[in-house]
Structure 1
């Protein structure tokens, strides 16, 4: 499964590079995934649950949701820059206007996992590690998508020679 995960991440990198026309933006989007892993591990520690195969399934699902959230934000910022906004204004506008979409995606997913997280029956204990990985990882990574992705966008724009940004 580890090999498959890295193959899929590589494929996502290629597709994102083609879609956005920039390997920097593909790296930016994919760089949020490890923070989701950290949230998943912390969730297992908090819940007192050992990592299982189902935990790994949850982490793989988490990677998809985190990438989706990042794409929503980065794509909107790109469109605002293409419309002629300075990068700094496009980032602020993107964060403000896509905040609800990113937050609702995460909140509804975590809310959907709550019944499984709170259930204590033997049957639920099988899938509880998956729900723990997804819910806790998504909680941490959502905050980081909303904060870290815009900051990294600004940094990558500066490194790749994008338009000069006036910092207030």
Structure 2
């Protein structure tokens, strides 16, 4: 989306490589966030002496997810910010001639060049993707986890109610 909005070149191969690398970072951030939320939920269940198959109350579930989001905010943001800042020179085509830097102490710094045509689309894909994916990881993933867990709680109540009603009905002989 960001490549189209900014009018950057869309190079199929390098853009796809950027999407694949972006997916790895995003999935890792989401897994770490949800894993920590589940750890907090499990700790709360132990604290309340609950079975593993039982669900927490909605308030306790919400508190655990919010605490997980707060705890994982800094690592997720640091991952995104450092990756974006590290890719900006690649995206804009900042070149330093290290041969002349070490030989003549002249870095010969220049912008553009042939490498930006090749590596630029990959870098811009990851940069734009991380802007969006960081927001989704920190906001959408915890909300989706909370709503899915609430749905599971509702579904379990409904199925238990039906099972109990079936057990209570007298069977005709």
Q: CA deviation at 1:47?
A: 4.6
Cα RMSD (Å) of the superposition? Answer: 1.9
Does the residue aligned with 1:160 lie in a helix, a strand or coil? Answer: helix
**Which structure is higher in helix share?**
1
Kept in 2: contact 1:72–1:102 (CA 8 A) = no
> Please, what TM-score do these two structures have when normalized by structure 2?
0.67
Partner in structure 1 of residue 19 of structure 2:
59
Partner in structure 2 of residue 99 of structure 1:
73
Q: Which 5+ residue runs of structure 1 have no aligned equivalent?
A: 1-40
Q: How does 1:83-162 map to 2 (within 5 A)?
A: 83-84=43-44, 86-119=60-93, 120-161=112-153
Aligned residues: 124
Q: How does 1:5-16 map to 2 (within 5 A)?
A: none
Q: Which structure's CA Rg is the greater one? A: 2
Does the residue aligned with 2:44 lie in a helix, a strand or coil? Answer: coil
Worse-superposed segment, 64-73 or 42-51: 42-51
Return the alpha-carbon distance in structure 1 between the equivalents of residues 79 and 26 of structure 2: 10
> Please, what TM-score do these two structures have when normalized by structure 1?
0.69
Q: CA deviation at 1:124?
A: 2.1
Q: How does 1:26-65 map to 2 (within 5 A)?
A: 41-65=1-25
Q: CA deviation at 1:48?
A: 2.0
Worse-superposed segment, 143-152 or 117-126: 117-126
Kept in 1: contact 2:92–2:116 (CA 8 A) = no
